Amino acid sequence: MAFAPIAFASPKQSFKYRLLSAAVLLGLAAIPAVAKAPPHAAVEPKTSPVLLPAEWNRVVNPVPANPALEAKINEILTKLSLEQKVGQMIQPHIGAVTPEEVKAYNIGSILNGGGQNPNDNPNSTAQDWVQLAERFYQASMSSENGRTPIPVIWGIDAVHGHNNLLGATLFPHNIALGATRNPALVKSLAALTAAEVYATGQDWDFAPTLAVAQDDRWGRTYESFSEDPSLVAQLGGKFVEGLQGTAGTKEFLAAKKVLATAKHFIGDGGTQYGDDQGYTAGEEQALLRTHLPGYIAALNAGVQTVMASYSSWNGVHSHANARLMNQLLKGQLGFDGLIVSDWQAISHVPGCALDNCPEAVNAGVDLFMIPNAPEWKNFHANVVAQVKAGVISQARIDDAVRRILRVKLRQGLFSAPSPLQRAAASAGVIGSKEHRALARQAVRESLVLLKNTQGVLPIKPKSKVLVAGLGGNTLVHQTGGWSVTWQGKDVPNDKFPGATSIFAGLADALKAIGGEAQYSEQGTFTSKPDLAVVVLSEEPYAEIQGDIQNLATLELDGTHKSGLKLIQAFKSQGIPVVAVLLSGRPLWVNKELNLADAFVAAWQPGTEGAGVADVLVAKIDGTPNADFNGRLSFSWPATPCQTPLNKTDADYKPLFAFDYGLRYSSSLTPWQPLSESTSEYAYGCRLKNQLPVAKRMEFTAKDGWDWKLELPSFQGSWLGEGASLGALTVKPIKDGVSASWDGKGEARVMLRNKNTPRHDMLAALANQGVLAVDVKLLSPVSAGPGIDVKIWSSPLTSGTVDVSKLLAAWPQGKTQTLSIDLACFAKSFTDFSKVDGPIALQAKRALAVELSNVRYEPGQAKTASISCSQ
Ligand code: BGC
Ligand code: BGC
């Protein structure tokens, strides 16, 4: 059987697709913004208090109540109309709102998303950021026509330094900071971030992430300090202090300090399979024990804002969880700052849309990150209408605005210098020598030594070293996601002015001790080096794009093994190898570990690559320049599918345990070769886990399934909207569709559902499932390829099985069942948990068929019309 190539979505494509689908929704939302006003209860049902371990009940808000400040809030509130109050509750992105609109709507906050720059200019300078901040600020402070000036506040993701800004100091991501075990350093790094952010006119940082990542397949594992809640709490609290200043001291929210955000509340790191934006399950106590301590620490440090999570807990979306936001966070824990929603996240709440979600308002979200227009405008109209209709109480609005004003007043925004004025006072801070030195210290302290045999480390004086591997001299591999762009990919080195690559750092350090370093990505050389440093790396990623999905495993570079090949090549020529791994999570690297003489986990160190050489390269006398300090903040897997793997597991058998990390002084025991077997998995890791027994599934119109016509370019139309598109003509039949292709182009007819975007088909795959459809050929099919059955997952990924040969053998006019073993799709498709197109028939030649009764059936793989299972 032939397998046609599949269309894998690159992150960029899927991002575009998201924009596209947002634009489609936007079109729909442009219809008059009338509140749909479902019968939501404005009054919270009384539930029993959330039970907390005793010490957690004692969150001490370090920011004392301030009657004068509250009086000021009251005064402002009395001056605002309902419309103006609701304006304060909205946060559009800088490309979708103008300073004029900030003034007209009394907008409370603006943001830029990852990789979004002033004026859409990727080369924006610090001055451009300041200028734009000034324009927004001045608009918000206008007292034109008796308007009450309220400073607008600009929030930004400065998650490892001021990472959107060219020339900023980028320090290692949180996972690496976890390995330093150095809370004071984390505080200093957050303080440098605050100073650089403040300098360009932003007042609010969407950091720190307090996720306690439990399954390292999660694409945000590197944003998590640790799998261990207490380490997250320890470092997260200090990060807050560094950004905001220490509460109770003069520096608190003073100049050069910005507001911190504890995110994402709550359970983002606990999702099943490590799915980003996924489902976290378990008892309330278990949720809190693992995922709450970071918030307790942040509250005790006086954190002023909390961001709700995209994830759900036990079926309740975090943005609608009144018990955890209203009752626990604001009530029992006494949080008096503001809760902000995540990017477009309200649309994920069942029953809500991008522009309409009274559930989230009522559950306790105060400020709404509704990045795009016209959604934010529609949301404004909807909330006003919902207050008038009693769906949202006036008191809830007042409470939300009170919190927003409280945070702004505490931050001193009403009296602070304008962005332009403060920029002058901050001259020279961005990417300063002092900042870079701190970031370099963090790199040094975060390196974890996993193996050191043959005494190859530290690298001796006078050594001639060859540095190889893409990550050795390509900055994106050391900066990772959230670096210049959102995904952090494809950013050329010159977009990191002032940065030092790992190679450059090694070259400098070696030169100082009479040695030298050369770089060759492919490891080629003319004269044999004494030693090779092979930099292994993951591709950069952020959020969902970083998830290791479905059929993939924790193996580094699974298919290409390019780093492994480099190590093999050097070793076969008798050249000792030091492997340096750049990754956002522990990975299965047993083959590389066995072969390399030394192995260092360097995480994603950021712009100061010289910190690697500080530890790897010896002093002139041959003794270590600096010792290894890092200790694993995540358990390291022994097998490619050993995830979730956490130190609290009953049967804890990691390769390297939490806390592991060698020192130069560690005694060198002979290396015991590690298993290199990958037989643990057949289709990837998920199927190893217990999956539920698959049920038969039907895809019927009554559940919202409908046929769509589509061209390979994705241009499409629904069956009801017209009978033909390109080469394809369709008409409805009972429980199906009649479709004919004229042979003059390629097109597909496919099932789609407007309501249920994703279906988890993993269980069906694991249970020998088939995709079945009743087929009647209306004309005979001639021999030759060109007829495929596909399944789709959002956004652009598909699996394909060629059915031409089978159909050519079938009689005309007789209805027969075509069943295809799902394992056949698995050969080219990894996305079974997110199937949103259960079947498509795609042809590029003449064909006339009726398709009906599409279903998945478990247990039929071996007897399918097309079978791939052994
Ligand atoms: C933004 C990111 C945001 C992401 C969420 C992107 O368009 O730039 O900041 O996190 O969307 O989906
Ligand atoms: C992310 C947040 C981020 C926000 C704004 C979201 O997609 O989940 O962490 O703060 O975008 O960029």
Render pLDDT for 619-655 as a digit per residue (tens, 0 to 9): 999 999 999 999 999 999 999 999 999 999 999 999 9
Q: Write out the two tokens for 630.
A: 């890092």
Cβ of 54: how many Cβ atoms within 10 Å?
Answer: 6
- Residue 362 Cβ inside 6 Å of ligand 1? The answer reads no
Residues whose beta carbon lies within 6 Å of some atom of ligand 2: 113-114, 157, 206, 263, 310, 342-343, 543
Distance 483 CA to ligand 2 centre (A): 14
Beta 279-280 vs 305-308: how paired, if at all? unpaired
Distance 91 CA to ligand 2 centre (A): 13
Cβ of 144: how many Cβ atoms within 10 Å?
Answer: 8
Q: For residues 10 and 55, what is the distance between their CA atoms, to the nearest angstrom?
A: 47
- Residue 431 Cβ inside 6 Å of ligand 1? The answer reads no
Q: For residue 205, give the ligand nearest its CA.
A: 2
- Position 865 scores a pLDDT of 96
Confidence of residue 251 (pLDDT cuts 50, 70, 90): very high
Distance 309 CA to ligand 2 centre (A): 9
The DSSP secondary-structure symbol of 331 reads I
Confidence of residue 475 (pLDDT cuts 50, 70, 90): very high
Residue nearest to atom 11 of ligand 1 (CA): 113
Which atom of ligand 2 approaches the CA of 310 most closely? Answer: 8
Distance 840 CA to ligand 2 centre (A): 34
Confidence of residue 40 (pLDDT cuts 50, 70, 90): very low
Q: Residue 555: phi, psi to the nearest 5? A: -70, 130
Question: Do residues 214 and 646 make contact, with C-beta atoms less than 8 angstroms apart?
Answer: yes
Beta 531-537 vs 464-468: how paired, if at all? parallel
Q: For residue 264, give the ligand nearest its CA.
A: 2
Render pLDDT for 539-586 as a digit per residue (tens, 0 to 9): 999 999 999 876 678 999 866 789 999 999 999 999 999 999 999 999
Q: For residue 116, give the ligand nearest its CA.
A: 1
864 vs 764, higher pLDDT: 864
Q: Would the pLDDT of 100 be above 70?
A: yes
Render pLDDT for 418-435 as a digit per residue (tens, 0 to 9): 999 998 888 899 999 999
Q: Write out the two tokens for 682.
A: 């057949």
Which atom of ligand 2 approaches the CA of 261 most closely? Answer: 10
Question: Do residues 737 and 779 make contact, with C-beta atoms less than 8 angstroms apart?
Answer: no
Distance 599 CA to ligand 2 centre (A): 33
Q: Exposed, middle or buried by CB within 10 Å (0-12, 13-18, 19+), for 387?
A: buried
Distance 343 CA to ligand 1 centre (A): 7
Which string of b and e fits 578-615 if b means at least 16 CB within 10 Å? bbbbbbbbbbbbbbbbbbbbbbbbbbbbbbbbbbbbbb
- Closest by alpha carbon to 695, among 773, 752, 759? 759
Distance 267 CA to ligand 2 centre (A): 15
Render pLDDT for 689-717 as a digit per residue (tens, 0 to 9): 555 666 788 888 888 899 999 998 888 88
Q: For residue 158, give the ligand nearest its CA.
A: 2
- Position 550 scores a pLDDT of 65
Q: Which of 21, 206, 343 to mutate to test the pocket of ligand 1 (most atoms within 8 A of CB)?
A: 343
Distance 263 CA to ligand 2 centre (A): 9
Q: For residues 449 and 735, what is the distance between their CA atoms, to the nearest angstrom?
A: 61
Q: Would the pLDDT of 796 be above 80?
A: no
First and final CA of the chain: distance in angstroms?
A: 15
Residue nearest to atom 12 of ligand 1 (CA): 343
Q: Which of 483, 486, 489, 544 to mutate to test the pocket of ligand 1 (most atoms within 8 A of CB)?
A: 486
Residue type, 232: V
Residue nearest to atom 1 of ligand 1 (CA): 113
Q: Which of 206, 266, 275, 541 to mutate to test the pocket of ligand 2 (most atoms within 8 A of CB)?
A: 206
Distance 109 CA to ligand 2 centre (A): 15
Share of the chain above pLDDT 90, in %: 79
Q: For residues 536 and 523, what is the distance between their CA atoms, to the nearest angstrom?
A: 12
Q: Write out the two tokens for 842.
A: 């795609």
Residue type, 509: A
Render pLDDT for 480-527 as a digit per residue (tens, 0 to 9): 999 999 999 999 999 999 999 999 999 999 999 999 999 999 999 999
- Residue 115 Cβ inside 6 Å of ligand 1? The answer reads yes
Render pLDDT for 816-870 as a digit per residue (tens, 0 to 9): 999 999 989 987 777 787 788 999 999 999 999 999 999 999 889 999 999 987 6
Q: Would the pLDDT of 336 be above 50?
A: yes
Q: Which of 343, 369, 372, 482 to mutate to test the pocket of ligand 2 (most atoms within 8 A of CB)?
A: 343
Which atom of ligand 1 approaches the CA of 343 most closely? Answer: 5
Residue with tokens 């952090």: 488
Q: Would the pLDDT of 27 be above 60?
A: no
Which atom of ligand 2 approaches the CA of 263 most closely? Answer: 9
Residue nearest to atom 3 of ligand 1 (CA): 113
Mean pLDDT, the chain, rounded, equals: 91
Distance 205 CA to ligand 1 centre (A): 15
- Position 446 scores a pLDDT of 98
- Position 242 scores a pLDDT of 98
Residue nearest to atom 6 of ligand 2 (CA): 343
- Position 721 scores a pLDDT of 73
Share of the chain above pLDDT 70, in %: 91
Q: Would the pLDDT of 15 be above 50?
A: no
- Residue 116 Cβ inside 6 Å of ligand 1? The answer reads yes
Taking each helix axis as running N to C, give the angle between helix 183-199 and helix 229-244, from 0 to 180 degrees, rounded to the nearest 10.
40
Confidence of residue 46 (pLDDT cuts 50, 70, 90): low
Determine the average pLDDT of the residues in 711-740.
89
Distance 181 CA to ligand 1 centre (A): 30
- Residue 482 Cβ inside 6 Å of ligand 1? The answer reads no
Residue nearest to atom 10 of ligand 2 (CA): 206
Query: Would you call 587 helix, strand, or coil by DSSP?
Result: coil
Distances 594 to 401, 573, 657 between C-alpha atoms, Å: 59, 17, 18
Cβ of 520: how many Cβ atoms within 10 Å?
Answer: 18
Beta bridge partners of 459: 617
Which atom of ligand 2 approaches the CA of 206 most closely? Answer: 10
Q: For residue 157, give the ligand nearest its CA.
A: 2
- Closest by alpha carbon to 696, among 789, 769, 774? 769
Q: Write out the two tokens for 553.
A: 């495993």
Q: For residue 95, give the ligand nearest its CA.
A: 1
Render pLDDT for 148-185 as a digit per residue (tens, 0 to 9): 999 999 999 999 999 999 999 999 999 999 999 999 99
Q: Where do runs of H (alpha helix) occur along 373-418?
A: 375-388, 394-410
What are the residues whose beta carbons fall under 8 Å from the beta carbon of 245, sequence distance 6 or more?
251, 252, 253, 254, 257
- Position 58 scores a pLDDT of 66
Which atom of ligand 2 approaches the CA of 209 most closely? Answer: 9
Q: 667-671, 690-694, 775-779 — which is least confidently predicted? A: 690-694
- Position 558 scores a pLDDT of 65
Q: 60-64, 94-98, 624-628 — which is least confidently predicted? A: 60-64
Which atom of ligand 1 approaches the CA of 542 most closely? Answer: 10
Which of 12-15's residues contact partners 24+ apart within 8 Å by CB, and which partners?
Answer: 12/487, 12/489, 13/795, 13/796, 14/545, 14/795, 14/796, 15/486, 15/487, 15/545
Residue 806 region by backbone torsions, left for phi larger than 0, else alpha for psi between -120 and 50, else beta? alpha
* DSSP states along 16-67: HHHHHHHHHHHHHHTS----------SSPPP-PPPP--GGGG----SS---H
Residues noted as catalytic: 342, 543
- Residue 113 Cβ inside 6 Å of ligand 1? The answer reads yes
Which atom of ligand 1 approaches the CA of 116 most closely? Answer: 8
Q: Which of 14, 157, 318 to mutate to test the pocket of ligand 2 (most atoms within 8 A of CB)?
A: 157
Question: Do residues 110 and 152 make contact, with C-beta atoms less than 8 angstroms apart?
Answer: yes
Confidence of residue 19 (pLDDT cuts 50, 70, 90): very low
Render pLDDT for 256-287 as a digit per residue (tens, 0 to 9): 999 999 999 999 999 988 999 999 999 999 99
Determine the average pLDDT of the residues in 326-354.
95
Q: Would the pLDDT of 106 be above 80?
A: yes
Confidence of residue 680 (pLDDT cuts 50, 70, 90): low
Q: Exposed, middle or buried by CB within 10 Å (0-12, 13-18, 19+), for 418?
A: middle
Residue type, 568: Q
Distance 255 CA to ligand 1 centre (A): 29
- Position 88 scores a pLDDT of 98
Residue type, 108: G
Residue nearest to atom 8 of ligand 2 (CA): 342
